[in-house]
Homo-oligomer: A and B are copies of this chain.
Amino acid sequence: MSLLVVGSVAFDSIKTPFGQVDQALGGSATYFSTSASYYTDVKLVAVVGEDFPEAELDELRGRGIDLEGLVRQPGATFRWKGEYGLDLNDARTLDTQLNVFEHFKPVLPDAYRDSAYVFLGNIHPALQLQVLDQIRAPKLVAADTMNFWINGEPALLREVLSRIDMLFVNDAEARALTGEPNIVKAAQKIKAMGPSRVMIKRGEFGALLFDRDQFFFAPAYPLEDVFDPTGAGDSFGGGFMGYVARQDDLSPRTLCQATVIGAVMASYCVERFSLERLRQLGPHLIEKRYHQFRALTDFAALSPLST
């Protein structure tokens, strides 16, 4: 089934303890759509500037990503510059140049408006609402956000929450949004604000899916070489939503598998800078790591006290 994503396409300059890249392809919608493209057709809504290379667009198109909703505007593409310390959990933003993104108004081509699965990347809640106004009868609408909007646009964000089915946030965002330190209770409070499902992203500690009536946990894969965590959350989201759209199913079983697929995609993303590793995957590598995840968490079903 069709999957729509709205978010940023950017150039990132990133320094980690293991190296650096200048103006490499980045942005939430780029990571998300590349990750999801292994599972389903993706329609992308975003904006780039005059400086955005046609070759990068061809690369995205080559993955079956529909770019009718990607507009090119006068000016430069969004740029972000950041740095990670040794723990790799928190990025320090050194510079943000919104450029063409500053006046971005998402407009959905008519063919996009019937998308069954929708992901609202981490953009201004007002823009997320504009997208919600344009979609017709989706089966699952998920959104990402961050503390900047939680603190800066609480009313608009609450309106978004009342109109979506699922929220993707990290621990700190869930706590900031609800004022509740306990993560189980925080997830329940978020559900009371609208979404029937909540995904708590915990970086190197995995992800916790609060489905309608149960929860599920997927660890992050313990990697020897983590080069650059940029895009891990969006790769996770792309894997999750792409797999759900591909299965066209919202059963707990599919959502559990989708959470692991998200963790698989995030684990590959961080092994190289930018989209380098994420672009080189295929069914074999995806299944290989999926089974590694299974080995990592599977314990025998036998009753521990009666064997």
* A residues in contact (CB < 8 Å) with B: 17, 39, 86-88, 181-185, 202, 204-206, 208, 214-219, 222-226, 243, 247, 253, 256-257, 259-261, 283, 286-287, 290, 294-307
A–B pairs, 6, beta carbons within 8 Å: A216-B299, A217-B296, A253-B300, A257-B300, A257-B304, A294-B301
The answer to whether A208 touches B222 (Cβ under 8 A) is yes
- Which residues of chain B are near A208, meaning CB under 8 Å? 222
- Which residues of chain B are near A300, meaning CB under 8 Å? 253, 256-257
The answer to whether A294 touches B303 (Cβ under 8 A) is no
- Which residues of chain B are near A257, meaning CB under 8 Å? 299-300, 302, 304
How many copies of the chain does the oligomer comprise? 2
- Pick the residue among B185, B299, B306 that contacts A224 (CB under 8 A): B185
Give Cα A286 to B182, complex, Å. Answer: 23
Give Cα A302 to B249, complex, Å. Answer: 15
- Which residues of chain B are near A183, meaning CB under 8 Å? 204, 222
- Which residues of chain B are near A283, meaning CB under 8 Å? 305-306
What's the minimum C-beta distance from A252 to chain B, rounded to whole angstroms?
10
7 closest residue pairs by CB, A with B? A205-B205, A86-B181, A256-B299, A217-B219, A297-B297, A283-B305, A184-B224
What's the minimum C-beta distance from A94 to chain B, rounded to whole angstroms?
21
Give Cα A256 to B297, complex, Å. Answer: 9
- Which residues of chain B are near A224, meaning CB under 8 Å? 182, 184-185
Complex: chain B residue closest to A217, CB-CB: B219
The answer to whether A215 touches B205 (Cβ under 8 A) is no
- Which residues of chain B are near A303, meaning CB under 8 Å? 287, 290
The answer to whether A223 touches B184 (Cβ under 8 A) is yes
Give Cα A296 to B290, complex, Å. Answer: 17
Give Cα A224 to B185, complex, Å. Answer: 6
What's the minimum C-beta distance from A283 to chain B, rounded to whole angstroms?
5
The answer to whether A217 touches B297 (Cβ under 8 A) is yes
What's the minimum C-beta distance from A214 to chain B, rounded to whole angstroms?
7
- Which residues of chain B are near A294, meaning CB under 8 Å? 299, 301
- Pick the residue among B182, B217, B225, B302 that contacts A226 (CB under 8 A): B182
- Pick the residue among B184, B287, B296, B298 that contacts A298 (CB under 8 A): B298
- Pick the residue among B86, B181, B222 that contacts A87 (CB under 8 A): B181
Complex: chain B residue closest to A255, CB-CB: B299
